[in-house]
Chains A and B, each alone.
Chain A
Amino acid sequence: MTREFAIVWAHRDRLLEGLANTIWLCVLATILALVIAGPITVALMSANRPLRAVARGFVDAMRCVPFLLLAYIVYYGLPSLGIRFNNWSAGLCALVTYNAAYMAEILRGAWASLPREHVDAGHAFGFSGARLYWRIILPPVVMACVPVIGNQMIQIIKDSAFLTIIAVPELTHEASAIQSMYYVPFAAFVAAVALYWLLCRIVETLVAAVERRAEATR
Chain B
Amino acid sequence: MRAYDYISLLQGAAVTVSLSLIGIALGVPIGLMLALVRWSGVPVLGRAVAAYVSVLRATPLVTLALLVFFALPNIGVPIDPVPAAIASLAMNTAAFNCEIWRAALTDFPRTQLDAATAAGMTTGLAFRRIVFPQIWRISLPGLVNEMTLLIKSSPAIAVVGIVDITRAAVRIGAQTYEPLPPFLAATVLYFMVVLGFVRVQRAIESHMDRKFGFA
Contact = CB atoms under 8 A, between A and B. Distances in A.
Query: Would A and B touch once assembled, by the CB under 8 A criterion?
Result: yes
A196 B156 contact: no
A72 B63 contact: no
Contact of A165 (B62, B70, B152, B187): B62
A6 interface: no
A196 B71 contact: no
B29 interface: no
A64 B180 contact: no
A172 interface: yes
B70 A179 contact: yes
Contact of A154 (B58, B151, B169, B190): B58
A199 interface: yes
B10 interface: no
B156 A193 contact: no
B62 A161 contact: yes
B74 A69 contact: no
B7 to A, nearest CB: 19
A73 interface: yes
B194 interface: yes
Interface residues of A, number: 40
Nearest to A69: B166
A66 interface: yes
Interface in B24-64: 54-55, 57-64
Nearest to A200: B58
Interface string A172-210: 100110010001011001101100110111000000000
Contact of A196 (B58, B74, B170, B194): B58
A199 B153 CA distance: 20
Contacts of A124: none
Contacts of B159: 164-165
B166 A77 contact: no
Scoring B66, B183, B187, B191 by chain A CB atoms within 10 A of each residue's CB, the highest score goes to B66
A80 B180 contact: yes
Given A165-B158, A176-B66, A197-B55, A66 B60 contact: no
B190 A190 contact: no
A197 B166 CA distance: 27
Interface of B: 54-55, 57-64, 66-67, 70-71, 74-75, 151-156, 158-159, 166, 169-170, 173, 178-180, 183, 186-187, 190-191, 194-195
Interface of A: 1, 64-69, 72-73, 76-77, 79-81, 154, 157-162, 164-165, 171-172, 175-176, 179, 183, 185-186, 189-190, 192-193, 196-197, 199-201
7 contacts: A72-B166, A72-B183, A76-B170, A80-B178, A189-B66, A196-B59, A201-B58
